[in-house]
Structure 1
Amino acid sequence: MSSSTGYSHRQRAMSWIFILLGVYFGVKVGEWFNFISHQIEEAGQTGLSVLLPYLVVIPVFFLGIVVHEAGHWLASQLVGFRCVGITIMWLHLERKRYRWHVRLGARAERYWGLVRVLPLNFENHRRRLSLIIAAGPVASILAGAFTLALGWHMYSSTLLTSQASIGAFATNQGLLIFGWYSLFLGVVSLIPYKSITDGGLLLGIMRNNSVWKRQLVLQRLISASYQGTRPRDYDTALLEQALAHPDNSATDCYAHLYAYAHALDSKDIESVRLHLNAALDLKHLTTKLFQRHLFCEAAYCSAVLMNEPDNAQHWLKRAEQMKPLTLKEGAFTRAAVAYSVQDNETAQRLIEQCYQELDDEPDAGARIQGFDRLKELHELIKLRTAIVAKTVA
């Protein structure tokens, strides 16, 4: 059997494990709903029999993810990584240049919770990153065990010896359901399924295979950018390593995007075309949010570098179809497209808005290149405006 076939069988087996665990967990939650509704009705609180289970389950589900991600975050701070973002369901905390930004929005694709961290140095990197990844499941398992012990103690010492209030009953059930859910989350997240679970990430690091090595190269590029290295100054040896040994994964697309940024900042138009087209060909391997970013870059290149207004509008429309752009998110791309269709007034207004937004960009290297791109587009708009004014005169 080939290694790829063996890998496919393992992934299929893991998928079935997740499905069976999900079914089991769903059945147990259904049984618990029936149990708690029955207990509430026996207590004469029939109005709460439908509402109370949801009042317990939803906060417990949210809190379980908070504890898990808090484990990742705390470990990252202890081993010297920089946290740049935290996502918990629909709550997003994003590190800006001067502040933290809190917003509500769609959850991260494939994840209910996510902590994004960057290494400030690469000394003992594998060990430190492994600790960060393992800390989430450990936090969930410890919190689950402690909460279950507390819940059972409360049940045996209070609920079995006296007529408990509905509040005490709900608290006890909340502790028990949180304990079981937290244990479940901790154990399941350790199952090595692709690179989606903590277990999958840990397995990749331990194997130290080519996939992990390419991801490490990308981490070096990202870290360098955040610390002020603009794309044209990227280590070309790292870019070559990132592009080597493609494996038809999202890493291939990310590698081409960094090579594209390097080429764009170096004014190498042929390489810009090459790497952007390669990234677009691999877009299906990435998230919708990343695909939208690719479409925005394609719109910019069509508008400013290729002077193709129809293509620029096409790519902007594709980006909007993938996920609607807010006024802040799409200002620069819209400015470029407006310039390409000779709507100089709109382009000028959007450019002015971009300067303030870009100043808050936490990625120092991207910020430096971004200001240069803004200035270049701004100069083109002013030049065209002057030509139009002279022609009219």
Structure 2
Amino acid sequence: MKVLLLLCASCFLATSYAGYRDDDYVINTKYFPDDFLFGVATASYQVEGAWNEDGKGENIWDYLTHLNPAVIKDRSNGDIACDSYHKYKEDVALLKDLGVNHYRFSLSWSRILPKGFAYQINELGVQYYKNLIKELKDNGIEPLITIFHWDTPLPVHEAGGWTSEFVIDYYADYARLCFELFGDQVKYWLTFNEPKQTCEQGYGSGEKAPFIQSHGIGEYLCTHNLLRAHAKAWHIYDEEFRASQNGNVGITLDTPWFEPNTTSEADLAASERILQFMFGWYANPIFNGDYPDIMKTRVAERSKQEGFSSSRLPEFTQEEIDYINGTFDFLGLNHYSSYMISDMPEPEIGAPSWENDTAVLYWQDPSWTPSASDWIVVSSTAPTEK
């Protein structure tokens, strides 16, 4: 199976074919291959605006930024944003002038299904995306569509959101509709963008929408349902649409790089452990089947000591493992920055958290080159001898 690797930095998206194991392969740092795909990426809530126009429903960001504007540092929101809903032709002209040949954008679930569920379709919202896709293709730009980018419809959230297993079918209904509506013009699909951010920040630490703090529990439930939803969407495309549409379906994950602080066995093990807890958490079930062993072992052991009757990390059945394994045509990988990693003493047993489950210390060296975003720095440190 072909793997299409997407390398993203901030809003930049570039894709190239990878996945062919060849020990003699040499990377040319001066020239891109002929089939290299250049593009840029956006997310619907961040650029579309028109938050309540033409029948669009409310999503969690709409609701929560209006309920409490202070959740955004400068009290801004996506009500207008870049106004791409009204200015998509100008946006496409800019893309053409930039010279890219692909544009990755996300669909707004609430614009297509205002109530979040498939019983009510917003035809004006559908037409907007058809117009955008046509404008792109008329200008020689191929659309790459993200089905979900962290903008759960409010009614779906109120019905349990991503911690409820019912969301699997709600999402599958939505994904099937997207394939039906746009699949004849779209050859690249992403089921999710950066699901770790949706789950960890939305349902674990609660730093971002829907702002649910359920440390060490919520993020695992969210991920478990999201992975099953991803697999279901992939199988829907594979069984119902692939033969006629001949497209590709993948997922975009994100991960930093983790550099061990020293060459000690403890720090080397810690850097591998955090990579499994961040990247392997999502990639391993899709590419190898099931969660990483280190995650299953550590979360189960700590859960037992914390008094839980079962692991806080849900278990896949063998049927689910087989169903999820291999559900990719390509992998999208977003990488922004790196961290130094040290092992740490086993955290005390108490309130559960994902951080305690990992048992690592990580930081960014203040000497590294900063950027306009304080969380993105350019690393330049190699591990020291133990």
TM-score of the superposed pair, with normalisation by structure 2: 0.28
Greater share of strand: 2
Higher relative contact order (CA 8 A, sep 6+): 2
Q: Which of these two proteins has the greater Rg computed from alpha carbons?
A: 1
